[in-house]
Amino acid sequence: MLLTEVQVLEAIQQAKTAFPNFTDWEYNNEVNQEYFGFSLWGKLVLYPENTTSTSRNFFITLDTNEEKWMASLTIGLPAYLWTSADFGDAYLLETDGHDSLEDAITGLKAEMKQLFKAFSIIRTYAN
């Protein structure tokens, strides 16, 4: 699915509002070897003051496949057709297809909440 320029601007604003700590938002709005259509991603850099390999880049990617919206959390690079841990990037979370961008964002936030809850439980037992 491709978006009109107005829809692209609305999607970017919705993503920035939903994920305010992510920056450097970029998008693709064409079908090619890396994307099925529209794809939007923003980056969160852990330890931005550290420019060595210990800094970590996390990405929220919101994209379309046919008439569905999906959302993912990746590390290394934004999600695209060739995302692979073999190349230093990997999916951490991914939603099923949703009918709207809003539903995809809500679904990803729920997945993230579950993941962070699991991490907090691990931290509790580790202390």
The pLDDT, as a whole number, for residue 47 is: 78
Is residue 14 predicted with pLDDT exceeding 80?
A: yes
- The Cα–Cα gap between 11 and 8 comes to 5
3-state secondary structure of 40: strand
Task: Read off the pLDDT of residues 69-104 as tens digits, 9 standing for 90 and up.
Answer: 999 999 888 988 776 666 667 889 999 999 999 999
Q: Where are the domains of the chain?
A: 5-126
pLDDT computed for residue 121 by the predictor: 75
Q: What is the pLDDT of residue 79?
A: 87
pLDDT at residue 124 above 70? no
| More confidently predicted of 58 and 56 | 58
Assess contact for 93 and 70: CB atoms under 8 A.
Answer: no
Q: Which amino acid is at 77?
A: L
Using left for φ > 0, alpha for ψ between -120 and 50, and beta otherwise, residue 121 falls in: alpha
Mean pLDDT of the chain, nearest integer: 89
For residues 72 and 41, give the distance between their C-alpha atoms in angstroms, rounded to a whole number: 9
